[in-house]
Amino acid sequence: MSTSGPLYIGFDLSTQQLKGIVVNSDLKVVFLSIFDFDAHSKGFPIKKGVITNEVEHEVVAPVALWLQALDSVLADLKKQGLDFSLVRGISGAGQQHGSVYWGEDAEKLLKGLDAQKGLEEQLAGAFSHPYSPNWQDASTQKECDEFDEKLGGVEQLAEATGSKAHHRFTGPQILRFQRKYPDVYKKTSRISLVSSFLASLFLGHIAPFDISDVCGMNLWNIHNGAYDEELLKFCAGPHGVDDLRRKLGDVPEDGGIDLGKVHPYFTSRYGFSPECTIIPSTGDNPATILALPLRPSDAMVSLGTSTTFLMSTPSYKPDPATHFFNHPTTPGLYMFMLCYKNGGLAREHIRDAINKAQNDDHPSNPWVNFDKIALDTPPLGQKSPSDPMKLGLFFPRPEIVPNLPPGQWRYTYNPDTNTLTRLSDNDSQWTEPTDSARAIIESQLLSLRLRSRGLTTPPNPSLPAQPRRVYLVGGGSKNKTIAKIAGEILGGSEGVYKLEIGDNACALGAAYKAVWALERKQNETFEELIGKRWREEEFVERIADGYQEEAFEKYGRAVEGFEKMELEVLKEVEEKK
C-alpha cells in the first residue's frame, strides 16, 4: 500500500460515530479510524449517540462529544502510522439538518486553539447552547405547519426549497429555538450545520455552509440560489432578518472551493502540513453519492435501519413527498432523495416472526429462513397469472413516505379490473408471516419505483425508462435476495451492484470530494475526474440482474395498485382523525 503521494481525509460525523478515512490520489483507502460515540466517549449520558426527551419529542447530541471524537480519531490515525504531512486536503460529511449554536467568543476561541490542550477543553465556552438538535428530533410540528403555510402550501414550499417542511429540517428547528431560548438565540453569533461545524474546527474560524447541505434547511431557495427572503424573515421572528442572515453566513456556489489552510493547532499537534487545504464538508447523503462516479439515471439505495434512495439528476421536479438538493459538486445537477423511517427494522420484524414460527433462530444467519421463503414466493404472491397481486404496507414506526402512523395493511389487487380489495388481519388469502417476507421487500421497492419514475429515462430506445445501474449500499446490501428483487422491480439496464466499501460510502465520498477539489483541471467535473480513476473491478461487484422484461412489466402494473393502496390507506387514516 503506497502512502507516499498526496493523501486526502474524508470525515463522516454521523449519529453514532465519527469516521475518518484516508485515500490517495488513486482513490485507494490507506487508513480508517472509527470512534463509536456510545462505546468510546467519556462523560456523556448518550444512547446511540443522542439524548432524548420523550415528552417534547426532542433528540439532541452534545456538541462537546464531537470535539472529543475528533481528537481521538486524529490521535488514532497517528498511532496507526499516518504521516499527516502528506495530507493535502480535508473534507467531510455531517448528518444532515443538525445545527450548532456558536456563542460570542467562538471566533476568538477557534483562532486561539493551543496544540498543548484538546479541542473539548478549549472550546467548551465556544457555544451559546451545548446541544445540537438531531435529525431524529420531532419537536417542531407547530413550526412545520407554519413553514408549510408560509409560501401558500406544501407544494410551494417544496418548489422553492426542494422539500416541504420536516421536523428535522433546520429552518423549523431554528424557529423553535429562537422562540424557546430567545436570550440564548440573541447571544448566538453564528449557526453552523454539522457539516460546516466540522470544517470550522479545521479552519480555526467559522466555515460557510455547503451548497448542497444548505438545501436541508427549508430556507434556501434553490431556484434563486439564495436564501428565501420571506422564509428567512419568518424564521428570524422578532430578532430580525439581518441578524439571522449574519448568523447563517454566505454560501459559496462551488462545492470544491478552497476555504483556507488548516489551523496551526492541527499542524503542531498531529503534524499536518501548513499547506493542507480545507474543502467544504457536505451532508452525509450528498457525500454518499460522491462515493462513486454516479451518472444521472443511476440510482443508489442505502439499506440501513431506515431506507434512503438517492439519484443524481439534471431535472428539478420537486414534490412534497420527496427531497431535492443542489448537487454537492456539479452545477446543473440535483440530488433527488427519498428518506423512509421504516427499512431494515421493519424487515427484521417479519424475519423474527418467521424464525419464531419455524422454531428456528439460526443465530449465525438469522436471514436464512426469510430469504428462502421470499425467493420461493412468486412475484406478488401470484401462483398463476389469473391470481390477484398481494400488496402490503409494513410500518412498525410512523412513516414519512407516505405520511402514515404505525400499522400494517394488506390488500389484493387485480390489475385487469384495477380493483383493490382490503384483507382483514385473518384473511385466508394471506398467510402470516410467510406471505409477508416477499411482500415487504416488494412493498419497499415498489414505493421507490413509484416515486422515482418521473426521473428515469429509457437507457436506449428499445427499453422502458429505468435506472442505468442500481447501486446498493449499507447493511442490507449484503442480502442477495433483496438485490435480486430490486433488479426485478427497479430494473437497471446494466444490473444491480454493490459497493465494496458499502458501509464507508459516506466518508469515502467526502474524501473523493477533497481529491477532486484539489486535483481537478479547470472545469473538470467530479464525475469526469473520479470516472477516470475509478477501478470498476476493484470497487464494485455486480450482484444481481437488473432489467428483466416480464418482471419489470408486471411490477409496472403493480405500481398502479400500490399507488391506489397508499391513497386508500391515507384516506382511511385521515377520516379516522
Residues contributing to the site for ligand XUL (CB under 6 A)? 14-15, 95-97, 135, 168, 283-285, 308, 339
CA R_g for the chain = 24
Residue owning grid cell 467559522: 206
In angstroms, give the least distance from the CB of 164 to ligand XUL: 12
In angstroms, give the least distance from the CB of 443 to ligand XUL: 20
Treating both helix axes as pointing N-terminal to C-terminal, what angle do 480-490 and 434-452 enclose, rounded to 10 degrees? Answer: 50
Concatenated DSSP letters of 180-217: H-HHHHHT--EEEEHHHHHHHHHHTSPPPPPTTGGGGS
Are 508 and 10 in contact, with CB atoms under 8 Å apart? Answer: yes
Write the single-letter amino acid at 63: V
In angstroms, give the least distance from the CB of 134 to ligand XUL: 9
CB nearer to ligand XUL: give 319 or 560.
319
CB nearer to ligand XUL: give 340 or 394.
340
In angstroms, give the least distance from the CB of 252 to ligand XUL: 21
Write the single-letter amino acid at 76: D
Q: Do β-strands 307-313 and 299-303 pair in parallel, antiparallel, or remain unpaired?
A: antiparallel
In angstroms, give the least distance from the CB of 169 to ligand XUL: 8
Question: What's the maximum distance between 2 C-alpha atoms anywhere in the chain?
Answer: 75
CB nearer to ligand XUL: give 95 or 434.
95
In angstroms, give the least distance from the CB of 339 to ligand XUL: 5
CB nearer to ligand XUL: give 276 or 507.
507
CB nearer to ligand XUL: give 49 or 293.
49
Are 62 and 130 in contact, with CB atoms under 8 Å apart? Answer: yes
CB nearer to ligand XUL: give 304 or 556.
304
CB nearer to ligand XUL: give 98 or 561.
98
Phi/psi region, residue 366 (left: phi>0; alpha: psi -120 to 50; beta: rest), is alpha
* Angstrom distance (rounded) from CA 34 to CA 17: 7
Residue owning grid cell 477501478: 535
* Angstrom distance (rounded) from CA 280 to CA 92: 7
Are 377 and 431 in contact, with CB atoms under 8 Å apart? Answer: no
CB nearer to ligand XUL: give 211 or 485.
211
CB nearer to ligand XUL: give 135 or 562.
135
In angstroms, give the least distance from the CB of 158 to ligand XUL: 14
Are 514 and 563 in contact, with CB atoms under 8 Å apart? Answer: no
Q: What are phi and psi of 68, to 5 degrees?
A: -60, -45
* Angstrom distance (rounded) from CA 573 to CA 395: 14
Q: Which three cell numbers stand for residue 171?
A: 429552518
CB nearer to ligand XUL: give 282 or 443.
282
In angstroms, give the least distance from the CB of 501 to ligand XUL: 18
CB nearer to ligand XUL: give 84 or 135.
135
Q: How far is CA 391 from CA 387, 443, 558, 567, in A?
A: 12, 7, 8, 13
In angstroms, give the least distance from the CB of 451 to ligand XUL: 15
In angstroms, give the least distance from the CB of 506 to ligand XUL: 9
In angstroms, give the least distance from the CB of 463 to ligand XUL: 31
Are 168 and 135 in contact, with CB atoms under 8 Å apart? Answer: yes
CB nearer to ligand XUL: give 297 or 306.
306
The CA angle 199-200-205, to the nearest 5 degrees, is: 145
Tell me 295's DSSP state: P
Q: How many C-beta atoms lie closer than 10 Å to residue 520's C-beta?
A: 15
In angstroms, give the least distance from the CB of 98 to ligand XUL: 8
* Angstrom distance (rounded) from CA 35 to CA 137: 23
Q: How many C-beta atoms lie closer than 10 Å to residue 28's C-beta?
A: 16
